[in-house]
Every structure is written in structure tokens, then in C-alpha cells.
Amino acid sequence: MALINKIREKSGIAVTVIAISLILFMIGGDLMGPNSMLGGNNNQVVGEIAGKEINIKDFQGRVDGFRQNYEAQSGRSLNEGELASLRDQAWNQFVVDIAYKSQFDKLGLTVTDDELYDMVQGNHISPSILQAFSDPTTGKFDKNAVINYLKNLKTLPIEQQKSWENFEKSLREERTRSKYENLLRLSTYTPKAQAEKEYVAQNTKANLRYLYVPYFSVVDTTIKVTDAQLEDYLSAHRKEYKGTDTRSIEYVTFPVQPAKDDSAALYAEIKELARGLAAAPNDSAFASMNSDIPLPINMSLANMSDQLKEAVKTFVPGGVYGPYREENTYYIYKYGGTRSDTVSSARASHILIRAENQSDSAKAAARVRAEGILAQIKAGANFEALAATSSADPGSAQRGGDLDYFQNNGAMVKPFEDAVFSATAPGLIPRLVESQFGFHIIKVTDTKSNTLYRIAAIGKTIAPSQATRDEAYRKADEFVNSIKTKEQFDAEVKKNKNLIVATANRIPESSTNINAIKNGREIVRWAFKDDSKINSVSPVFETEEQYIVAVLTGKSDAKDVKVNDFRDELTTKVRNQIKAEQITAKLKGATGDLDAIAKKYGAGALVESANDISLATGFLTSAGFDPIALGKAFGLKAGQKSDVFTGENGVFIVELLNKTEAPKIADFTQYKTQLTQSLEGRTSYLVNEAIRDNAKIEDNRAKFF
């Protein structure tokens, strides 16, 4: 009997243990997760705005509301990118509700019901309503459509009624913010003294000569920079270096590349499709049904790959061509001839010169620089080389400025498009073209053509088999299990000739991409985990068509800025300081004219002239725009030579040959208007920055998503 009681006691304990285990299993994600109480973090605050904490539950509730509205309207579930965008919208909504609304309330700014009515169906329709209720074919707004929609609103599903309620709320917020920004914009004032100063800067002209020794004339390797010097510089300029929370990693990839068997199987399939395409009575329908990639039937040169552009020259109507391989996709084409289209295509290259800011003086300086480059090209300089070194468009600069083919359908900004499509022959457009992006120097490489090629195309992508994927993972897993430290990581990479180490520096905590790797969020989250230490090795991550193993190589802390956070920038600054001291010491006390001083200095010293320049548009041939040098020059008297001084990118001695003062005028309205309009154009940006800075926003979303 005692034994039976003991068994009963033990079985009760066992049942209890099992029950607790089941409960922990079911809610373990909430209790044991990285942001849970039992997981070592009871902080459920997703951020703070103007001293108010945003709880994860409240934040997620707003995201869920946005998601429900979106899915109700689109009729489908969101992908990860769209969900991330909704999280941004939800966060920005909290910023508006807390940081902006407090400013609106202080000024008593509201939007009344009558005003909202006027925006929706009155005499001053909101642009958002105009867009939502315009005929998609004619673009004409129909007020009756709005009225009919509102009459029937209560008969619509609850989701749509809620969606309209949120839409009206956004209209109120948009109008309130517009009122606030207009209030500040209309308070913009430019004093007469400032307008007069701008007039003088633009219209006082000078001719000067200068001796210039650029920093790059002194070889970097001859200058030793110590950590102590970097520390001293950082301490003296700490306000210039704002800290951020970042991580740096090194990583290797194990790509999931289709094997020969995968490629051979697809090649056989597409050859069979080629026979079907040739015999199909409706080739476009056959192509559409069998292609992995949606491809247009009518193509211009702007729509074609480089390979197809060359191949189409040899096509004969009715023929089937291919397969052509581009990366992991095979293509076959059935050619149906050409026809003319109302839309034309052309090919061009450009060099973009941007102003440093939106001020008139900065724009004028950018124009002077662009005109100088255009003059060099006209004189025979290589367009592609200048594009690579001077263009502010990084995407095209690395291709010598080439923009490939594009159509005259708004693909480019209008001034650029008009210039290219008005050209009658390939070649350099002999004038600058200005757009909102800056000044363009354009070379047309293929003039406009309105030829459309009818091509029924099938594209089939090689998909790696499961066996191929398993093999790539096996290699990654074998690699990561053989290492524990950075030293072992380096040693294994050195032994394996197929592995290439890539580096990603200063990754922000909110980043979703790592270099060219998309969907690298899990790697970023690993790098920011508290238990991820410097030199620790990650597990195997799967992203896109590859497996990745990373090692954490660096951390930066927003609240504790260190030399390593800005080592390259600081090293350049300190090195240039040392160079300036060396150059100055060599030039100090030199006598004679500038040519004699330059000769005595030796290699690296340049003597140049700058004629008819102003403080607003002063551009020095080799030194570029150097405000320090310009200020020194305009502060001299005619015939006077400055002492040695340090400029932006080198050391100078400046000699003012002559200066023509700006003529006296009584009315500075033109310059006052210029400055006021420039400031008004930046009001929205400046207001946004000021409110956000004042709110001391702390965004911790990256710890949760």
C-alpha cells in the first residue's frame, strides 16, 4: 500500500513537470525570447519621442492596423519589404502624433470639420482626393464620384469604413502640417544688410595669382600618424564627429550555384520550348505561359539586354533564335519584325556637376566648374575619363558616364530628355543642361529611334536542385564547425582557395542589406546581440542564393565615440595638418615673386592665375572652390601678397592683382528675393530636422524586428 502511495506521489510530480514543460513550450517564444523577461530583457519599449515611451504592444497594434487596411485594399498579404515600410509609416505616425502635435497645439493650429468638408468635396479639393477620385484614363477629377462614395460609405464593409476614417485623419494631419510650415515659411526674413552682402559677393570682381602646393603633392607614406595624434584631433573636434551604433564584419559566402546537371536539364527543356514556340499559332500567348520572367512583346533598344541588342541585328522575321544565356537564365526569341512607335529611344552619357547646397553662390560655383569641364572636352579631353573622376552620378560615372538606352517617356528629367532627343547626330551637346539635379554635360552616343521590335521571348531560370542546396550548406556548416575565433577563420580561408573574404564596415542597427546582399537582416541582428563579441564567429545564415558565415570585427557606440570609428577620416585630417606644417615651414620667409618662390620650393608647387572671379563664384583651376583662399585674396589690397596660409586642400600664397568693387546700387530687392526664396525652399526640411532634434527621438525598433 505504501508503495502504491509513493507511485501516486511520483506520478503527480511527473504530471506537474510535463504540464509546466508544455506551458513553457507554448509560450516560450514570449518568455524566453531575446526581448523577454526571462530571456534577460524586460524592456518592451520600442522607442522614445519627446520623453514619451512607445511600448512594443502599442507600436505593433498600429502596424497591425495599417496592415489590415493595406491587405483589405490590395487583396493580398504583405511581403517582408512592404511590412518594413508599414513599420516606418507607423513610427513616423508616432512622431507626428507626439513631436509635431505638441508644436501644433502650442500655436492652436487645427483643421475644422468645415475645412475638411471643403478639402473633400468643396471648392479647395485636397491633392490626395484629386488623385484618389480622378478618371485613370482621362486624369479628370470627378467630384460626384466622391459624393456618391460618401453616400454609400455606411453600406460598405467595416474595413473600408475604417480605411476612409484613417484617410480623413491623414488629410487633417497633412493640412495642419502644411499650415505650420507655411506659417514658418512666411516668417522668413532677409535683412537689407544680408542682401547687400550677397550683392557685393556676386559683383565684386578680382584678378589674382596664387602659389598652391596641394596636400597630395606630399606622398602619404612619408607622413607617420600616431594614435595619440588622432586622439588629440578627435578631442579638439568632437562636435564634428557624431557617434552612431554600428557593427563591422568580415564574411565568406557559399553560393548555391546550379550544378551541371541542373543546367543540362533546363537546356533540354528550353530546346523543346523553342520547337513549340516556332509552331505556336499564338506565339505571344505561348511565350507568356512558359516564361519564368515577364517580358514585353514589343521592345525598343532601351528594353533590351546588351546581348539581345547585338543579336537582333541578325534576326529574320519568323525565325526562332537561341538559347542565349545571361547569368542563370536561358532565353529564346521568336522575331516578328519591326514597326514604328510614338515613343523614341536614344543612348547618351553625361557628367553631372552638383552644387554643394541650394544657395545662388553654390549654384554659380557649380556652373563655373561644369563650364570648365565642358571646355576641356571641347578642347579634346576624354569624356569618359572626366566622367569617371568628376561626375556626381556614381552609377554612371563608373561606366564613363554611360546611361544606356532610355525612352522619351519621362524616364529622364525633362530638360535632359529634351536635349538628348533634339540632337540630330551623335556627339557632344555643346552647352550645359540644367535640371533639378545640377548641371549636365551630355554626349549623345546613339540618336533617337522609334523602332519597335516584335519579339516573343521565353526566359527560363536555372533553379538549383535540393541536392545542390544541400551540398552548399554542407560546406558552410563544415567551415563554421571548424572555427571558433577570427584567427581560425583567417586560417581556414587561407587554406580554401575558393573562399573570398568580403568586408562590410559601419553597418547601422536598422540595416536590412549588407553590401549587395539583400535580406541580410538576421546577420545584422546577430552582430548587434549582446553576446556577439569582437572576433566571434556567426552561425550559418541563408540569404538569397547563398549561405554566409561572418565574423564580428568592430563595434561603434553612439555615446562613446572612439578613434577607430573614424580612423580613416581622422588619419587624413591629421596627415594633412602635418603636411601643411611641413609645406608652410618650407615656404616661410621666401622672398621674390611667386614664380621664384615656387622654383625654390621645387616639385609640387603650382603658380596659376584666376581672372574675373567673385567671392560667390570663385573657382581656382587646380584648387577648385576654396573659400579660405578666396577670403584671403579679397581681403588684400591691389598689388599686395599674402603670407603663407593653409586652405582647404593645400597651402597658398595669394597675390591680388586688381579688384573692381561692385557698383553702388540703391535697390537690393533682387538679392533679397534670391536669399529669401532659397531659405523658403529649405523650410520644410529645416522644420522637420528641428522638430526631430528637439524631440530627442530614440528609435529602438531594430532590437525587435
The domain spans of the chain are 1-42, 44-108+188-204+663-705, 113-186, 205-242+566-660, 246-257+466-560, 258-463
List, for residues 639-691, the tens digit of each pLDDT value: 999 999 999 999 999 999 999 999 999 999 999 998 998 888 888 888 888 99
Judging by DSSP bridges, how do beta strands 320-326 and 329-353 pair with one another?
antiparallel
Query: Distance between CA atoms of 671 and 682, rounded to whole angstroms?
Result: 17
In this predicted model, which residue has the larger pLDDT, 247 or 410?
Answer: 247
Sheet with 45-49, edge to edge strand ranges: 52-55, 45-49, 698-699
The answer to whether 31 and 37 are in contact (CB under 8 A) is yes
Question: What is the model's pTM?
Answer: 0.60
Neighbours of 96 (CB within 10 A): 18
Which pLDDT belongs to residue 2?
A: 35
The percentage of the chain sitting over the pLDDT mark of 70, rounded to a whole number, equals 93
- Cell numbers 530628355: residue: 417
Task: Report the C-alpha dihedral over residues 39, 45, 47, 51, rounded to 10 degrees.
Answer: -140
Q: How confident is the model at residue 302 (pLDDT cuts 50, 70, 90)?
A: low
The answer to whether 618 and 361 are in contact (CB under 8 A) is no
Cβ within 8 Å of residue 200, ≥6 positions away: 615, 662
Which pLDDT belongs to residue 197?
A: 94
3 state DSSP class of 617? coil
Which pLDDT belongs to residue 32?
A: 39
pLDDT of 476 strictly over 50: yes
Task: Report the C-alpha dihedral over residues 268, 269, 271, 275, rounded to 10 degrees.
Answer: 140
Which pLDDT belongs to residue 4?
A: 31
Which pLDDT belongs to residue 22?
A: 37
Helices 360-378 and 669-681, axial angle in degrees (round to 10) = 90
**Identity of the highest mean pLDDT range in 65-74, 124-133, 585-594, 678-687:** 585-594
Which pLDDT belongs to residue 555?
A: 92
Q: Give the residue among 501, 570, 519, 460 at the shortest CA–CA distance from 235.
A: 570
Which pLDDT belongs to residue 18?
A: 34
Mean pLDDT of 223-247: 93
The answer to whether 628 and 615 are in contact (CB under 8 A) is no
Q: Which CATH class is domain 258-463?
A: alpha beta
Which pLDDT belongs to residue 16?
A: 36
List, for residues 407-452, the tens digit of each pLDDT value: 887 878 888 988 888 887 889 998 999 988 899 999 998 876 777 8
Which pLDDT belongs to residue 594?
A: 96
Q: How confident is the model at residue 565 (pLDDT cuts 50, 70, 90)?
A: confident
DSSP string for residues in 336-352 = EEEEEEEEEEEEEEEEE
Q: Give the residue among 256, 251, 252 at the shortest CA–CA distance from 471.
A: 256
pLDDT of 567 strictly over 50: yes
Query: Distance between CA atoms of 690 and 704, rounded to whole angstroms?
Result: 27
Mean pLDDT of 608-614: 93
Query: Distance between CA atoms of 162 and 165, rounded to whole angstroms?
Result: 5
Which pLDDT belongs to residue 73?
A: 66
| 205-242+566-660 CATH, one of 1.10.860, 2.40.160, 3.10.50, 1.10.357 | 3.10.50
Which pLDDT belongs to residue 386?
A: 87
The answer to whether 383 and 402 are in contact (CB under 8 A) is no
pLDDT of 166 strictly over 50: yes
* Fold match flag (205-242+566-660 vs 258-463): yes
In this predicted model, which residue has the larger pLDDT, 551 or 259?
Answer: 551
pLDDT of 343 strictly over 90: no
Q: Give the residue among 371, 349, 318 at the shortest CA–CA distance from 445.
A: 349
Q: How confident is the model at residue 319 (pLDDT cuts 50, 70, 90)?
A: very high
Q: How confident is the model at residue 42 (pLDDT cuts 50, 70, 90)?
A: low
